[in-house]
A and B are shown apart, each in its own frame.
Chain A
Amino acid sequence: MMQNQIHLWAFLQGIGFFPTGWKHERARPEGVFHMDYYTRVAQLAEQGRFDAIVFGDQLQSRGAGGRAPERLAMPTLDPVTLLTAMAAVTKHIGLVATVSTTYNSPEMLAERFGTMERITGGRSGWNIVTTAHPDTAPNFGETELPPKDARYRNAVEVVARACELWAEMDREGPELPQGRPVLVQAGQSPDGRDFAARTAEAIFCPAATIQAGVDFRTDLRSRVAGVGRSPDGVRIMPGLSCVLGGTEEEARAEHTATLDLADDALAIEYLSESLCCDLTGFDPLGQIPVDEILAKTLLPQGDVARSIVPGAEKGTPLGEFAANFMRHPRGHNVFIGTPEQMADMMIEWRDAGACDGFTLQPSYMPGGLEDFVGQVVPILQARGRLRTDYPGATLRETLGLPAREAVTA
């Protein structure tokens, strides 16, 4: 076993991490509607010896106030479908689908992931989410989301019941190679962290700095130990985006150029979506319409006020505020530099205990993934930090976890 091996997950929802990513000259926005794109990127991630591919998900269409955005990449195709198709064109890579416990019954989840687990030969994973977007409820005949604590209480019961159903499916056969899918979680709040500590075998988190990574991982490992599980049985995988260049200057220029692909209209659509309030009818050169936003948003007013009031008090015009908001990296680590510098950074984080590996969020697709696999992966392998072959057949083996582990929900 290699010392301080770095695990890699590829987060491939949409056309990349940057809202402008689809406009990049090396992006293929039409690709996400064609199988050949998924074959290409799945095989690329497998070539880079990633543990798994992850697709995020939402159960509402993008937009705000009933208006769909025109300048943001959408829609998001169903992750279980995309990942299962990718299993058919790969041999080793794990396939982790984001699916909600609030809007699926345990029976539906068990049947869906049980079938996925069988047909992928034991490479399935479930990123358990409780769904937080207020626009979701009307798609399921409801007026509003259940409160957060109720969603998490329900999630614990749903996961436990699904695990019972998988045990039954496994007994009846054909067997589920891992017993059940690998359980993955991404909650940040205390409720979410406790749920993850009891349930998850891998955890995503944002960590903008190495210290934030150390703090999160230390906290999670102590919560895991606190419920009687081994902290070494959980992989902590902070998000990581990157812009690479032959020199640091080239990488910075490329980063700026990617952000500059945004115009005011794109930035305002992005801000509208983030605030749950349609701002596309407002003058980009005018004031931030604070009262209008607070009256119309479906998000908690306090959270929204905290993000817009300081800008409004400074008199920042709406378009400029939206552009700055869009450039903010949402709490994730965005690395800008050379492939050697990136490998150094990843090794430093791993050795400092800031993570077990990274969830790569390519800045645009498929070019961002091609660059990472072509330029950074060989360096990590040469330094003995990234596997050059897969250790076994199942995702659990790839993660270095016991073949089967029962949930302690």
Chain B
Amino acid sequence: MTRPFILSASVAEPAFAVPGHARAVLQAAEAAGFDLLMLGRSGERPFDAQVLVAWAAPMTSTLGVVATVPASKAHPFHVARALSAVDFLAAGRTGWSVVPEGAPEGMAEDMVGAARALWDGWGSDTLILDKTSGRYLDASKVKASNYKGAFFKVAGPVNAMRPPLGHPLLVVDGDDPIAIDDADIALVSDGTAAPQATKRLIKVGADADAAMLAERFEAREIDGAHFTLNDALTQLPQIGARLASLLAPRPAGDLRARLGLPIPSTASNQPGGAVIPEIA
């Protein structure tokens, strides 16, 4: 497939928790061709992004919705459950970004490890749903992860399925990085060390030059751009119009298929996401 130029933005306006405004922003992001909308960012989380991605799921059809998760004000058992549910409702269009925000060193990484272990406690082919044989699932595919980290000890299995994406896309912000070397997406700034990730998005201002971005994309320095918005309703259409020439049609499918992002082989003991059997 053609390598996609990934278009991403973050919103952290308190008004995004109000339905009328949130609806307008989500529609603007989809209309402008954005691939990812991150709710909140490090140091600016005026809402619980895990709740708002749930509301966004039925409001959108192609946009990837990314929840910021505060490492010190969340628990991996709850996070794994919430993001699993959102990923089902959004049919595989979710991401998450654990923000340290001054949490003790290692806590954000522990959050990532624990949630991944819980998602991996369910096989992608666990569900059977056969009314005739009476088998709802294959119990041999459900395992206690017995995760033991420095901050979180989580036995499992989690009371939630493996998500359709396997794991939601993990986004790491280079300006408040966590020590994970197999993230899906890194948000990087010029002149700072970039976190390891499958795709790198350059953090730019709303007036970033399309020709410059195209050049760096062609040179494979970057895989796309990330905009830190402060007036989303005005900025989203402007950015979309200016960068329209960079945006090629995406293949159908979930967010990993659209953006060419398999689960990092180090991140999971299985490559696929949950499959829900079709019932005749």
A residues lining the B interface (CB < 8 Å): 22-23, 25, 27-30, 33-35, 38-39, 58-63, 66-78, 80-82, 84-85, 87-89, 103-105, 107-108, 111-112, 114-116, 118-121, 138-141, 173-174, 261, 263, 265-266
Contact = CB atoms under 8 A, between A and B. Distances in A.
B276 interface: yes
Q: What are the nearest 6 A-B pairs in CB distance?
A: A138-B155, A141-B153, A81-B85, A115-B48, A68-B142, A77-B85
7 contacts: A35-B90, A74-B136, A75-B122, A82-B89, A85-B55, A111-B73, A261-B134
Nearest to B86: A81
A72 B134 CA distance: 9
B3 interface: no
B242 interface: no
Contacts of B89: 34-35, 38, 81-82, 85
Interface stretch (B30-38, B158-166, B204-212, B229-237): B158-166
Interface stretch (B76-84, B174-182, B249-257): B76-84
A222 to B, nearest CB: 37
B137 A70 contact: yes
Contacts of B91: 34-35
Interface stretch (B13-21, B185-193, B258-266): B13-21
Contact of B139 (A70, A114, A115): A70
B45 to A, nearest CB: 9
A29 B159 contact: no
A138 B156 CA distance: 8
B277 interface: yes
Given A35-B89, A35-B91, A118 B17 contact: yes
A119 B52 contact: yes
Contact of B17 (A107, A108, A119): A119
Interface of B: 14-15, 17-19, 22, 47-48, 50-52, 54-59, 73-75, 77-78, 81-82, 84-86, 88-91, 122, 127, 129, 131, 134-139, 142, 144, 152-161, 274, 276-279
Nearest to A23: B131
B160 A80 contact: no
B134 A78 contact: no
Nearest to B60: A88
Contact of A108 (B74, B139, B159, B161): B74
A30 B154 CA distance: 28
A70 B54 CA distance: 29
B161 A58 contact: no
B18 A61 contact: no
A22 B128 CA distance: 12
A107 B73 CA distance: 8
Contact of B48 (A25, A63, A71, A114): A114
Contacts of B19: 88, 119-121
Given A61-B156, A75-B122, A263-B134, 13 more contacts: A23-B131, A28-B279, A39-B58, A62-B159, A68-B142, A75-B158, A75-B159, A85-B55, A105-B73, A111-B47, A111-B73, A115-B17, A265-B134
B155 A139 contact: yes
